[in-house]
Every structure is written in C-alpha cells, then in structure tokens.
Amino acid sequence: MNNSEDQILARELGNVGSIGGPGGRSGATFAARFLPTETFRSSLRIEADAREVLQAVFRILVSMGEITDESAEASGPPRISTVVGSGFLRMNPALVHVQVVPASEHASEVIVSAAAKEGLIKQRTAEKAVGRFREELLKTYA
C-alpha cells in the first residue's frame, strides 16, 4: 500500500463522513490516518483473449464504482483501478486494482487486489470487494 492509496482511502472515508453533517468529513479523514489498511489479493484464469478480458474488466469496474488513475504505477503490466463501496451496507470505500496478463493466445490471468481501511470491527472490506469483482467477471465468462 503506497501513500497515494492511503490518501485516496482517507479522502473517500471523508466523503462518507460528510453524510453525518458538519465536521464529519474532516473527522473521518483525520481518523482514517490512524486506521490500518487491510489488503486482499486473488487471481483467476479466464479462457479468453487478454484484450477481450480487459474490456470486460473495464465494464465491470465502471459499473462497480469510480475509475481512478491516482494510484497508477509506472512499471509492470497496466492496471485499472476503481473506488467501490464495500463492507457493511457498502459504506466503507475500497480501492480495487485489476491487471490482465496474457497467459496464452486464448487465455488470460486476471489479478485483482483491493485495499481498505478497517477499524476494530473487521468488515473484510477488501476481501468483499475482490469477491464481488470475481463474481461479476465469472458471470461474464460462465
């Protein structure tokens, strides 16, 4: 988890906190600095061309949340990132990253990871966000 990802999660928690009224945004943003960031990662093989899978990934991520390039990395395979609501009532923001790597001419490896801030009561926010994405992708290729 890099600093920009922590800043994104803190900002998104602030947006959720703003629902609570005056001071909610700044209070939630401040508190987020002290919460641990939990991560979850999974991968799956899809029997389809990487370009096709990447297009499906993009459609799914757009439907799940807001695409962001704020945490883009200069090296490695390209990835698509989005901020989604997850956890209890989908009120806890998670940052989801997906990479599609060609495994062969007709297969792709999809690597999905997520990060989220967690308090004392663990909501498994990152794990739930990854699970939701996997479920949607598997529906597409069922």
- The model's pLDDT over 80-110, given as tens digits with 9 standing for 90+, comes to 999 998 877 777 899 999 999 999 989 999 9
pLDDT of residue 20 exceeding 70: no
Confidence of residue 8 (pLDDT cuts 50, 70, 90): confident
Nearest to 1 by CA among 48, 42, 37, 41: 37
What's the rounded mean pLDDT across residues 64-76? Answer: 79
pLDDT greater at residue 6 or residue 132 = 132
**Order of strands across the sheet that contains 92-104:** 37-46, 107-117, 92-104, 79-86, 65-68
Mean pLDDT of the chain: 85
- In order of start, what are the domains of the chain with their CATH numbers? 36-140 (3.30.530.20)
Nearest to 119 by CA among 35, 54, 40: 35
The predicted pLDDT at position 114 comes to 96
Q: Which tokens is 13 given?
A: 């928690």
pLDDT of residue 29 exceeding 70: no
- The model's pLDDT over 30-56, given as tens digits with 9 standing for 90+, comes to 666 778 889 999 999 999 999 999 999
